[in-house]
Structure 1
């Protein structure tokens, strides 16, 4: 026997059950208790196919367990066959039942799915308990003959043998193409859809498999008891198998074994002393839930294997990948045979409307093969909405999308993926709990064998493996193929996501901000990869790093407020007056404050807030890198930069809603590192977030009263600062205009004792007249409270602040007097707009070299 066979977990199950059997026989105890443990081990493992492998939590899998128990009893008592035939019939009955129930309830996810399974189980219980003429009601059905196994020991041996085979079958399914697809859906349903998988059908397949395994266990219990009772269908026992699985460890293949042993033995021993044995057992479950979420096997990993008290290694599948070939075949694009003179994608009159909000308006565009076509635009321009319509995540309100001449406007995402439209996402979208190799292999499999293959080894397909290695080599991750994704640095995760997008035989690549959150070295690597991919694919790129976009793109389109305002060569687009206005803004005399603003020189005032070398990011990414800021008492400071450079991230870091990765943050001389947001707020820092985030069902007055604390300004002072709110104080926040909501959000920050207010895009989406009103209120606050104002359009905020910081790719590129920046149009264009003039030509020449 090979070492791999010896280590097979099904043999571990057999060995443990045999040891328990020998121990029970040695003390002369009834063997039925160990038989029950064996049955519930497979029962729990079948449930864990949904919980651990698929990410669905059934509260009522007992509907299959109990219904199949009755099916076996009816089959035998009706004289249709012997006990072995009854087992087969029960499995088939349970599979059909699971198909019918699953087709209905899998339209829902999360808590609704869980409750629906429980509802079906309770319905079955009511029928079984009250239909006395057929089911025996409370007394159940007795006298079920077990002709093939007259002795308890003989039946026990049969149960142990078939449970071992069942566990071996589950282990094989977990490693099959279908089983690995279940795990991908568990980790990232949306990503699986974008690769071409029909997630609903995949989950239905897993649900049916669970029904089959659980149904077999229910029939075994009928034969063990030689009768059947409604108790197992009742809600009080519906979750027994789930409790066992959680107790043993849902992310471990052997978890159901350890859980069944502990649950049944504890129930047997404790119930011998007291009827209220749950009063003892429940605290045990609570301790495991609090101290070891990975269950008994997770606890063993810590105590025996020395695992850290953090995230532990899952053991749902073997921890290996296929051997790396001696020579990796170079990657070949599926788009190599496309006619370069014909557009691969045409968009005609594409529009998207959410109620009265229009996010895309009559967009016409052509995408050609072997061209790097970038789409840029300010915040809220509609870029991601446009991508969502192209990929099928959103249905357009109007217009048409043609891919290789075929109308795909109404096709779902997974069908478009199968046609060759691959997409990456602004927020990293990979399969976190799979290895690097498996992430790409799952994507390759989607177009080679789909979700088929229940019994084949997913890693035994040489063709899929070879393609996977080719893609990993193309994106520079072949050496990290065996790494779990959670261990990868952010730059490598971005490369992996591009690799996943390539793996579905993509002809068109839609890359949504692939440079987001990358350090400069990683930006160079990823940008170079994108440029090379555009030589073999059609590539559409959304990116906020304008300098790099202009340097690597063959064509650039600009969206602004849902409209296409420019399209052409980078050098032409960068000089387009509408593009310059979109990024730098235009003078708005009607929005200017009427009060004369005297800039204050506060460099000599005490430093209120000091940020030294701040670094922060999301999910391993580095958005801010070495930020130094100083805000003085009563000073108004603008924080400027193109979208995506880290302005909002800076405010979140200062307010404590985002953890500081490196550096130090001081406020009034006190170190803020590690403090919670509410602690920082109580020290005097208030955040006015983008989107306002009021309590919609409370009135203006109630929103303010809820926030009021001693030391803040009074409600009457709020109404003096914002007269409009005085007349609207009884209106619910959900009925306010955007400008009124912004006023309430600012006022809410003032009614607490704030020394520093952080305002994130306070003028976003407001009419000019309202902008003027909000600006005048901020002017009145100057000198009374320090302010940091994030604003997209520099010309709106520079006249009312004392100093300004400009961020470029997560670093401070300018720090100085607001007046100096306001008067330096060239500096604004370089830091805030698009590259122009000689600098643009130099950038393009560098890219050509």
Structure 2
């Protein structure tokens, strides 16, 4: 058994202790130099200012350009309180802090309707509004001269006030560190890493962000009030746009992903400003290049640079430890209440979804029962993930109803459905990459318990939650790597972790979206076995492209095609359904082309090798999609690349054209290695991609789209119009007004406008009417021999008659390569490699 790394933070490394020692050292140094202590007091105040801002930036992922609205307004609030003789200076600090918190509550209700850049700009806008009021309302705010004679009564000397400010700042750093380790703080970090995943666990993301903004307003407001007492006055310049970003600048300079980043940034910023401004009025001309240097060489700021010099880089927003592993881990048991095998758990009634005129789901009726492994399959674009998104609340249906465990949930948001017991995994891995494996699961377990919003409780002191977390990690086989940061895990382990996260919220229904995608065979077996076990105690709705395995492990299968349910029943019934076979293998189309003459195929096979891929492996985010793939294309040859959805066809095309960097192997085009070239360099050598989805420029006409791609040596416009006569009639129409078939014609024609030797076509017939398919196919037949082609298509019967050779991918590896005629005539081989068939091997593997 591997050993779980558990470390503990020594008292001397606690951020509050480090800050106290640094301030003591600075104080002693300034005392020896005989310099005014107010400069170190200012550093302490701005450290507090930056620490409050870093609660948003580092822990939550929100970037406020104008946090100065809280700093400046609290400064005025403290001044008004003292000048109005409502109380002494200490009471004014409490009043100003409370005022800033209420201001954050009000402002947050407005600006948190937006996120990203818009949130940042809205904070800046509020700060500028406050500046205009403070600067121009002279009768109340003193205008340009500000408010003066705001005397301190509790601290008559600069030294006594300095000690007080340092003590307050150190206490606030301790408090912020405690909040960061509380259940509330851990949720903030999960939201920073993956907002959608946090919502899918049952967290109200908006509420947590609003609470974080209020906390930021509280700490920043306290800093602003302290500045008023230090200056014994208040001025509008702290609200102006020139100073609105000071705190953010200091935080980034020190290290935005480090708890003490604001401390180092405040020291550097204020000391440099003090020294440089004494030398020149244009001190920013010196300071700006220093900032640029840090931005370019050390994105993690000063602390990140120091870590790099020491050879150990990690975020220090929280301590690196996890709770100790129990001597005996309790076995995982589903805590879903009221489990009853066969009980109706989920029902959809005429569920529909459309995006404008595009219908992706049409009147889907489905029932999911407890203890049943229910799979959904269907060709690419069938609407499977759209259906999942409607069930989980990521998308609102256009029509129909969703009833879960007797409760209608059609209009409920994602986090509310998660709390009812609908858990899901995602097609694209959705975990919290900057948290440990343990914390990924722990924050999910916490979601269903009371107290997830506690501010001061140590999250790791909640024994019941920790024990549940260890049980889940052990169930998915990740207990030995619990202390690892998620980003360092291999793809298979991340898939297991995602299932563990989904389990952690005590779901009654598990929505698993392609959990086997990108896994090696050994990992597929592990995950498939885990899914089978989960189906014994949960309702499981599974989307998966590994048809053989789905047929082997499922109790029930539903088939979607073009947004409609075309079959539903036992695996053996679905596999034999003619409509399902047609959806996967396709049906004979009118106007099917006769095979190219044998002599022509022989000529192409004897032509010079144009492109050769040797043992190519590639994938995404650490996953392996392609594994040791070999492919050869001769000059003028047409090659079909076939396979079920998700096996790596598009990945191989992207590897050949350079938009995806391969992890192993080499690719040679006309004798030249191209695997490390940029996509535009590969295109200029003569390889063009016709992507799935066409990807035209919608606001340009047909002619303009083609002219943008034109280069000397490519086809002329007239030649393109001869190849696609319909485009001549539509040459002045904008691309956005074209039909799907016309767009496909433009996409192919665009690839011919450059001097291409090889064209890669990704699903050229997808979504086209039979008559349009014939037009496109006729054009491709005319191109045979003139230009080499690799055609990806999931309807084998469409493409096999017009190509010379074929390759079939199964789970990222070549399962067939050879003469297209052989595959075209061998219907049993087609069914085994491409269709919905439950082979004895698949049954045996599923039973293993």
TM-score calculated relative to the size of structure 1: 0.98
Aligned residue-pair number = 839
Between the aligned partners of 2:846 and 2:124, the Cα distance in structure 1 is 61
Check the 8 A contact 2:596/2:804 in 1, yes or no: no
Deviations 1:326-383 (A, max 9, x none): 1111111123632223211112211112222111112111111111111111111111
Name which of 75, 79, 82 aligns with 2:85: 79
Residue 675 of structure 2 aligns with which residue? 673
What is the correspondence of 1:473-622 to structure 2 with a 5 Å cutoff?
473-590=474-591, 592-593=592-593, 599-601=600-602, 602-622=604-624
SS in 2 for 1:52: helix
The residue that corresponds to 1:817 in the other structure is 819
Alignment of 1:400-799 (within 5 A): 400-449=401-450, 451-590=452-591, 592-593=592-593, 599-601=600-602, 602-799=604-801
Deviation digits for residues 399-425 of structure 1, max 9, x if unmatched? 221111111111111011001110000
Contact 2:295/2:301 (8 A) holds in 1: yes
Q: Go from structure 1 to structure 2 and tell me whether the alpha carbon gap of 1:183 and 1:782 turns closer, same or farther (over 3 Å shift).
A: same
Deviations 1:5-43 (A, max 9, x none): 222111111111111111111111111111110100111
The aligned residue for residue 156 of structure 2 is 150
Say which SS state the counterpart of residue 380 (structure 1) adopts: coil
Take 1:285 and 1:331, find their aligned partners in 2: how far apart are those partners? 51
Distance in 2 (CA, whole Å) between partners of 1:835 and 1:766 is 26
Matched with 2:5 is none
SS at match of 1:319: coil
Shift of the 646–845 alpha-carbon distance from structure 1 to 2, 3 Å rule, reads: closer
Match of residue 139 from structure 1: 145
Pairwise CA distance, 1:694: 0.9
Aligned to 2:3: none
Which residue number in structure 2 is paired with residue 4 of structure 1?
Answer: 10
C-alpha RMSD over aligned residues = 1.3
Distance change in 2, residues 1:341/1:738 (3 Å) = closer
Aligned counterparts of 1:745 and 1:560: Cα–Cα separation in 2 = 25
Preserved CA contact (<8 Å) 2:201 2:502: yes
Partner residue in 1 for 2:351: 350
State the distance in 2 between where 1:832 and 1:746 align. 26
Q: Secondary structure at the residue paired with 2:605?
A: coil
Match of 1:331 in 2: 332
Structure 1, residues 421-476: CA drift from partner, whole Å, max 9, x if none? Answer: 10000000000000000000000000013531100000100000000001001111
**8 Å CA contact retained: 1:593, 1:773:** no
1:472-496 deviation digits (Å, cap 9, x = unpaired): 0111100010000011000000000
1:218 is aligned to: 224
2:843 aligned with 1:844:
yes
Return 44-53 or 397-406, whichever deviates more. Answer: 397-406
Aligned-partner Cα distance in 2 for 1:690–1:450: 48
How many angstroms apart in 1 are the aligned matches of 2:753 and 2:577? 45
Distance in structure 2 (CA, Å) of the matches to 1:397 and 1:752 = 43
Q: Which residue is equivalent to 1:69?
A: 75
State the alpha-carbon separation in 2 of the partners of residues 594 and 410 from structure 1.
Answer: 53
Distance 1:339 1:176 in 2: 37
User: Can you list the C-alpha shifts for 1:241-291, whole angstroms capped at 9, x where unaligned?
Assistant: 100000001001111111001111111111111111111111111111111
Residue by residue, what CA displacement relative to the aligned partner does 1:725-782 show, whole Å, maximum 9, x if unpaired? 1122121111111111111111111111111100000111111111111111111110
Deviation at 1:306, TM superposition (A): 1.5
1:385 paired with 2:386, answer yes
Corresponding residue for residue 301 of structure 1: 307
Deviation for aligned residue 1:597 = 6.4
Q: Structure 2 CA distance, aligned partners of 1:502 and 1:595? A: 52
Rounded to whole Å, the distance in 2 between the matches of 1:306 and 1:109 is 35
- Contact kept, 8 Å, 1:645 with 1:807, in 2: the verdict is yes
C-alpha separation between the residues in 1 aligned to 2:597 and 2:728?
A: 26
Preserved contact between residue 172 and residue 457 of structure 1 (Cα < 8 Å): yes
Higher mean alpha-carbon deviation, 596-605 vs 249-258, is at: 596-605
Unaligned runs of 5+ residues in structure 2 are 1-7
- Describe the shift of the 1:3–1:494 C-alpha distance in structure 2 as closer, same or farther (beyond 3 A): closer
Shift of residue 593 of structure 1? 4.8
Task: For residue 600 of structure 1, give the secondary structure of its aligned residue in structure 2.
Answer: helix
Moved more, 624-633 or 444-453: 444-453
Whole-angstrom CA distance in 2 between matches of 1:711 and 1:89: 76
Alpha-carbon deviation of 1:174? 0.4
Alignment of 1:38-57 (within 5 A): 38-57=44-63
Residue range with higher mean Cα deviation, 104-113 or 597-606: 597-606
Match of 2:104?
98
- Rounded Cα–Cα distance in structure 1 between residues aligned with 2:485 and 2:597: 56
Q: TM-score, normalised by structure 2?
A: 0.98
Equivalents in 2 of 1:289, 1:846: separation in Å? 53
Aligned partner of 2:194 in structure 1 is 188
Distance 1:450 1:76 in 2: 38
Following superposition, the deviation at residue 586 of structure 1 comes to 0.4
Give secondary structure in 2 for the equivalent of 1:622. Answer: coil
CA distance in 2, matches of 1:110, 1:198: 18
Cα distance, 1:211 vs structure 2: 0.2
Shift of 1:627: 0.4
**Correspondence 1:126 to 2:128:** no
Distance 1:92 1:773, change over 3 A: same
Is the Cα–Cα contact under 8 Å of residues 710 and 753 in structure 1 kept in the other structure? Answer: yes
Q: CA deviation at 1:511?
A: 0.2
Question: Residues 400 and 597 of structure 1: is their aligned pair in 2 closer, same or farther, counting only changes over 3 Å?
Answer: farther
Unaligned runs of 5+ in 1: none
Alpha-carbon deviation of 1:697? 1.2
Structure 1 residue aligned with 2:4: none
For residues 300 and 845 of structure 1, do their structure 2 counterparts lie closer, same or farther at Cα, with a shift above 3 Å needed?
A: closer
C-alpha separation between the residues in 1 aligned to 2:418 and 2:236? 47
Could you tell me how far apart the structure 2 residues matched to 1:562 and 1:31 are?
Answer: 71
